[in-house]
Chains A and B, each alone.
Chain A
Amino acid sequence: MKSKFAAGLLGVLLTCSLVAAQERLRMSTTTSTENTGLLNVLLPPFEKECGCKVDVIAVGTGKALKLGEAGDVDVVLVHARSLEDKFVANGFGVNRRDVMYNDFVIIGPASDPAHVKGAKTAAEALKRIAAAQAVFISRGDESGTHVKEKEIWAAAGINPAGRWYRSIGQGMGEAIMMATEERAYTLSDRGTYNAFAGPKTDLVILFEGEKGLFNPYGVIAVNPKKFPHVRYDLAMKFVDFITGPAGQAIIGQYQVAGKPVFFLYKAR
């Protein structure tokens, strides 16, 4: 009796993680994209349409592209134009398409000790932070956000160093939480900030709107010539969906805390 129970229990435990076999499309994307929650509304209609399941692996931009370079995923959705172009130029990706865009903002405590508000450019804003030695949280993970941040420091002619400049090597969410905790400044994409503003952070936007803070998203299928095993068919289905009317409608209408997160390119 007891041994039957034991066998039964073992059977239950072992079958827990078994999944029905199904066509699976592997997509790597950034944590910030995932954190906006967009994929939770974008993917189900796509999965229904293609009769497949999408495995989303959310990591930093650098790693998302590296996964594509290794052939460990079938399609890549990131927001780091220069890196994306290199990715395609090196033959790892094909059919890059623009999907949507948003922008970066500099956030910080409402008390704004470094007087960022009123700066004319992003570079000037960062200069003021460096001058005040106000704590600044950097993602430090070669993500699109981090790459942009480095560009602005370079434009400001500053090499940030010192105890006030904290490079944490983590995602946007962690950066915002740490900045909230430390009453610090950081550069964030608007989408993630909107998702956090209110319940999780009381930091406010202190600088926005500059052309240089433009943050475009691109989708790229991994090159089937280089990696014959990738699901190129499913990848292209996804590319077509996300740039087609159905996907674009979902993206355009997506909001977090009553505010839009992504913006569409003008109608083609």
Chain B
Amino acid sequence: MGFIAESVRTALSLIFSADQDVLAAVRTSVGVASWSVLLAALFGIPIGLGVGVNQFPLKRVVIVVLNSLMAMPTVVLGLLVYGLVSRQGPLGGRGLLFTPNAMIIGQTLLAVPIVANYTLSAIKGADVRIVPTALTLGAGSLRSMMQLTREVRFGIMAAVIAGFGRVISEVGVAMMLGGNIRWYTRTMTTAIALETSKGEFAFGLALGIILMVVSFSINILLTFMQESYQP
């Protein structure tokens, strides 16, 4: 118990002293996660929509695969992308490894299945009358899809929030593709991993507390934003 109390005290002092290392790690975590979720939404929402709305052969297979991809271990994904962006790999020429961009690539790939699946669920649960209503009012396919998206926006926001939660809390991809470089690719999670490896458990937990506070705050903001949105 004392160890937890010490962590809380450390967390507070880190926050109030605006510790540079902590600030940098928070900014990296939030920035990388935000870009990843944005890109994941750009790809994942249309995928979820496309699979949910259409009938096609092997639809069931696709859904099962999409589902399974959600459980992709982060280290495995990290390794795969590492193989691609390392200098030895096919995309190596751009010097991506050990930069925030490499982390964004990895985390986007991590989040796409989540966003797609939640979107798919939202679509499945949507009222079947939405699209026919839009169509009979003269909307084309695109507009009907957009109206459908609007009608299930709570489900889609849940998708985005779930994706965000997954990437901001993961360490495998960030560590492998970012290299935990201080002030550059060190995220809250990789910082926690580092501190724990140095035996600084209380400090690590303090960082964890800060990470959770940041993460919760962003989630609350996102939820608040979506609820007041009127089309």
A62 interface hit (Cβ, 8 Å): no
Q: How large is the interface on A (under 10, 10 to 19, 20 to 34, 35 or more residues)?
A: 35 or more
Question: A17-B28, A70-B87, A71-B87 known; A10 and B34 CB under 8 Å?
Answer: yes
Asked if A56 and B182 make an inter-chain contact with CB atoms under 8 angstroms apart, the answer reads: yes
**Which residues on A sit within 8 Å (CB–CB) of B32?**
17
B154 interface hit (Cβ, 8 Å): no
- Scan residues 122-167 of chain A and give those whose CB is less than 8 A from a CB of chain B: none
A72 interface hit (Cβ, 8 Å): yes
Question: A55-B179, A72-B86, A173-B198 known; A9 and B225 CB under 8 Å?
Answer: yes
A48 interface hit (Cβ, 8 Å): no
Give Cα A51 to B175, complex, Å.
27
**Which residues on A sit within 8 Å (CB–CB) of B228?**
2
Q: Which interface residue of A2, A18, A72, A176 has the most chain B CB atoms within 10 A?
A: A72
Asked if A17 and B27 make an inter-chain contact with CB atoms under 8 angstroms apart, the answer reads: yes
Give Cα A229 to B198, complex, Å.
34
Question: A57-B180, A176-B199, A200-B199 known; A17 and B31 CB under 8 Å?
Answer: yes
Q: What distance in Å separates the Cβ of B94 from its nearest Cβ neighbour in chain A? A: 10
Count how many chain B residues have C-beta atoms less than 8 Å from C-beta atoms of the other chain: 30
Asked if A18 and B31 make an inter-chain contact with CB atoms under 8 angstroms apart, the answer reads: yes
A88 interface hit (Cβ, 8 Å): no
Question: A9-B221, A173-B197 known; A17 and B30 CB under 8 Å?
Answer: yes
A-B pairs with CB below 8 Å: how many? 82
**Which residues on A sit within 8 Å (CB–CB) of B56?**
none
Asked if B98 and A14 make an inter-chain contact with CB atoms under 8 angstroms apart, the answer reads: no
B229 interface hit (Cβ, 8 Å): yes
B38 interface hit (Cβ, 8 Å): yes
Q: What distance in Å separates the Cβ of A19 from its nearest Cβ neighbour in chain B? A: 6
B35 interface hit (Cβ, 8 Å): yes
Could you say which of B181, B199, B218, B225 contacts A2, with CB atoms under 8 Å apart?
B225
Give Cα A62 to B87, complex, Å.
17
Q: What distance in Å separates the Cβ of A232 from its nearest Cβ neighbour in chain B? A: 15
Could you say which of B35, B86, B229 contacts A3, with CB atoms under 8 Å apart?
B229
- Scan residues 212-248 of chain A and give those whose CB is less than 8 A from a CB of chain B: 227, 229
Could you say which of B28, B95, B98, B197 contacts A170, with CB atoms under 8 Å apart?
B197
Give Cα A72 to B197, complex, Å.
24
**Which residues on A sit within 8 Å (CB–CB) of B97?**
72
Q: Which interface residue of A2, A17, A174, A229 has the most chain B CB atoms within 10 A?
A: A17
A194 interface hit (Cβ, 8 Å): no
Which residue of chain A has the shortest Cβ distance to B179 in the bound complex?
A57
- Scan residues 1-46 of chain A and give those whose CB is less than 8 A from a CB of chain B: 2-3, 5-6, 9-10, 13-19, 26, 31, 35
> What are 15 A-B interface contacts by the 8 Å CB criterion?
A2-B225, A3-B229, A6-B229, A14-B31, A15-B31, A16-B28, A35-B198, A57-B179, A59-B179, A70-B86, A71-B87, A71-B88, A72-B86, A180-B199, A200-B199
Known: A10-B34, A13-B31, A14-B35. 16 other contacts (CB 8 A): A5-B225, A6-B225, A10-B38, A13-B218, A14-B38, A15-B31, A16-B31, A17-B30, A17-B31, A17-B34, A19-B100, A55-B184, A59-B179, A176-B199, A200-B200, A229-B87
Q: Which residues of A contact B (CB under 8 A)?
A: 2-3, 5-6, 9-10, 13-19, 26, 31, 35, 53, 55-59, 70-72, 170-171, 173-174, 176-177, 180, 195-196, 200-201, 227, 229
